[in-house]
Structure 1
Amino acid sequence: MITNDISTVFYRGYLSYLRERGWDVTIISRDTGKLTALGEAEAVDIVDVDMVRDPSPIQDLRSLVRLTRAIRRVRPDVLVFSTPKASLLASVAGWLLRVPVRIYHILGLRYETESGIRRRIFRALEKTAAGLATETLAVSHSLAELVREERLTSRVVVLGEGSPFGTDLRRFNAEAVDIPALDAVTETFLASRGNAFRLLFVGRITGDKGVGDLLDALVLLAARGVEIASVIVGPGEDAGLERRIDELVTEHAIRRVGSVSDPRAYMREVDILCLPTLREGFGQVIVEAAGLGVPTITTQATGARDVVVDGQTGLVVPVRDGVALAAAIERAAGDRDRVREWGAAARARAEEFYSTERVWRQYADHFDASAR
């Protein structure tokens, strides 16, 4: 159960794997067309239930009624729900119908960087979903720690080293034959920077992703004469940050790229990934870059600090600290041999803990045990 079918990309292969393990799988979500395509590709049942992400009491009540009817028809032994709105509604419906195993698959805490009334409301919703579940599955150990600290529930576990769905390390591999070509403008930009240290950011352009701290760090590095060629990839969700990026593009050697369907072309062409995030559930993009042998500089934020071993597969700096971030980037730029060693170690760690084969097996084994 998920709120809408935007997230269905993560379920490719996973649902058919569960089916091969003997499960009769149904996925419930709002369908804009992607859900139907997923059901056909994975040979699983789909149920379209209209839901909206933002609070809407009347619409939410309608969705709850439809969802309850859908779950009653399916009669699941195990109900797994993730994403905030779907989790709230599914936890209520599953509890009302007394579904024996109700698992909240928690991908992160949206309210972690909120304040005031919004924080209190979102926390209450998370506590409701977790409280009505028979178990909460967190996608990282630091997220599980936060769930306990926030007293959302004590019934929280992590499978292995975490990960929501695993990473296809055959696809995220520098030798993969289907990696698309780099766009011409970015290729020209990188070529024009000569031997500059190449840095990549991939993610939503928001304060939560630490983009402001990254820009602060790049300004400091430019003032010190450290040559950095930075590529920023992802959808723009903060007009103020976009304006600031535009102001810095020429002076500080920044190439702004919008949303891309496949980040591998960019990952393959850089020295390091930088994710100065304020919160994550799990640092998925870090593992994807690791697959291509690219290490990461990230922060001690929830869900990010689990994935990078400081000084071995990258560097970890304090949250909201542009000065420390600049120092870490400068350290990496000054020792490229060490950066390559970090990249090789990051790939090895990804293979050990985060492959789809390992993670899917952990989930299937857990569902088998839960249903006994």
Structure 2
Amino acid sequence: MSEYFDVKGVSSSGKELDEVKNDEGIEVIAIDMSRQITPIKDMKSLWSTYKLLKKEKPNIVHTHTPKAGIVGMLAAKLAGVPHRLHTVAGLPLMEATGTKRKVLDFVERLTYSSATMVYPNSKGLYEFILQNNYTDQDKLKVIGNGSSNGIDTTFFSPEQISDTQKELLKKELNIEDTDFVFVFVGRLVGDKGINELITAFSQISKEAEPPHRSKLLLVGPLEQELDPLHPDTLKEIENNQDIISVGFQKDVRPYFAIADVLTFPSYREGFPNVVMQAGAMELPSIVSNINGCNEIIIEDQNGVIVPVKNDGQLKEAMEKMISDKDYYQHLKKNARSMIQSRYEQSVVWNALLNEYKTLIEKK
């Protein structure tokens, strides 16, 4: 976009923001935004964003994430920004109930009413927004086939990881060549289905006998403060030698490269990058039947779709991947090509660029 526009990135401060500045070669501005419901902090964020937008006078403000959405869209409307665009890439309110759900519903409607266009990044989210009357249909649009950013299939490619790299990593993690490796990439929290995944895998590892030994590789940070895992889950992760937790990793490609299947039993998503990344790395996926996941994965073609919060059917799908080699190879053969044909990053970028240009020309 910086080939066509003067782009400025706004987010909370931290090393990630500095990385964006260096990687993308754009100016970045730090405005603190809490990920939780914090009215006083949120008002400070709103005021800081409003002052910034009055000073910069942008043609377009494009927000991502619920908190940046409500702060950015309200501030942009108050500042008179002509094009106020918000991408919806997952809704935490899907798992909320009671008063919290009512508050989040109100915030979502306020965000959309302040925006001039709203872009759900999956068809499932598009339908969910309409069903809940968050905004009118003429404000909604899915860019391309979905996804916020597409996937760079040159970067996410098995060819990027050498055999030597894979052997060294396997040795470091005590993974044998004969092990069947399931991988999860993401935050280790309840909403990602980690409790069900650990329950399913612990049963598999207890019942397995050579040559059907398997390992579960967990790649991502533990976030107990926001959405804690069950104590039994934490205990199993710590004590089961077949479960390997490596924490947050900036480059997840080597971990995909030594794995056989992505297991991603999340409760809610927008359009999960992880499932596209795994596919581009030639991994079939086991995903839950939620929007985004059930658009990227087509049953029996590049993966398996299981019911949400069902550790029994998750276990069955994992066992079939291990035992039915022909079935597994069929899914693996299709995995990369099905990502390349639908979600190549350049296609998504060009679709978004065309959207920006069209909006400005109309105005």
Structure 2 residue identity aligned to 1:255:
I
**Aligned match of 1:293:** 282
Determine if the alignment matches structure 1 residue 234 to structure 2 residue 234. no
Asked if 2 retains the 8 angstrom alpha-carbon contact of 1:222 and 1:252, the reply is: no
Determine if the alignment matches structure 1 residue 327 to structure 2 residue 310. no
**Secondary structure at the counterpart of residue 309 of structure 2:** coil
CA drift of 1:19 comes to 1.8
Do the aligned partners of residues 251 and 356 (structure 1) sit closer, same or farther apart at CA in structure 2, a change above 3 Å counting?
A: closer
**Aligned match of 1:102:** 84
CA drift of 1:246 comes to 3.6
C-alpha distance in 2, partners of 1:270/1:279? Answer: 24
**Aligned match of 1:209:** 192
Q: What pairs with 1:21-170 in structure 2 (closer than 5 Å)? A: 22-154=4-136, 155-170=139-154
Determine if the alignment matches structure 1 residue 362 to structure 2 residue 344. no
Structure 1 stretch displaced more, 313-322 or 325-334 = 325-334
Structure 2 residue identity aligned to 1:319:
V
C-alpha distance in 2, partners of 1:280/1:321? Answer: 17
**Secondary structure at the counterpart of residue 62 of structure 2:** strand
Do the aligned partners of residues 165 and 178 (structure 1) sit closer, same or farther apart at CA in structure 2, a change above 3 Å counting?
A: farther
Structure 2 residue identity aligned to 1:79:
V
C-alpha distance in 2, partners of 1:232/1:167? Answer: 22
C-alpha distance in 2, partners of 1:89/1:100? Answer: 16
**Aligned match of 2:175:** 190
Structure 2: give runs of 5+ residues left out of the alignment: none
Determine if the alignment matches structure 1 residue 199 to structure 2 residue 188. no
Aligned partner of 1:316 among 305, 309, 315? 305
Asked if 1 retains the 8 angstrom alpha-carbon contact of 2:10 and 2:30, the reply is: yes
Determine if the alignment matches structure 1 residue 273 to structure 2 residue 246. no
Do the aligned partners of residues 189 and 137 (structure 1) sit closer, same or farther apart at CA in structure 2, a change above 3 Å counting?
A: same
Asked if 2 retains the 8 angstrom alpha-carbon contact of 1:51 and 1:63, the reply is: yes
Structure 1 residue identity aligned to 2:174:
F
Structure 2 residue identity aligned to 1:116:
G
C-alpha distance in 2, partners of 1:246/1:234? Answer: 17
CA drift of 1:252 comes to 7.0
CA drift of 1:40 comes to 4.9
Do the aligned partners of residues 188 and 98 (structure 1) sit closer, same or farther apart at CA in structure 2, a change above 3 Å counting?
A: closer
Asked if 2 retains the 8 angstrom alpha-carbon contact of 1:102 and 1:133, the reply is: yes
**Aligned match of 2:327:** 338
C-alpha distance in 1, partners of 2:31/2:217? Answer: 39
Deviations 1:171-191 (A, max 9, x none): 111001589557657655321
Count of paired positions: 352
**Aligned match of 1:3:** none
Asked if 2 retains the 8 angstrom alpha-carbon contact of 1:205 and 1:241, the reply is: no
CA drift of 1:348 comes to 0.5
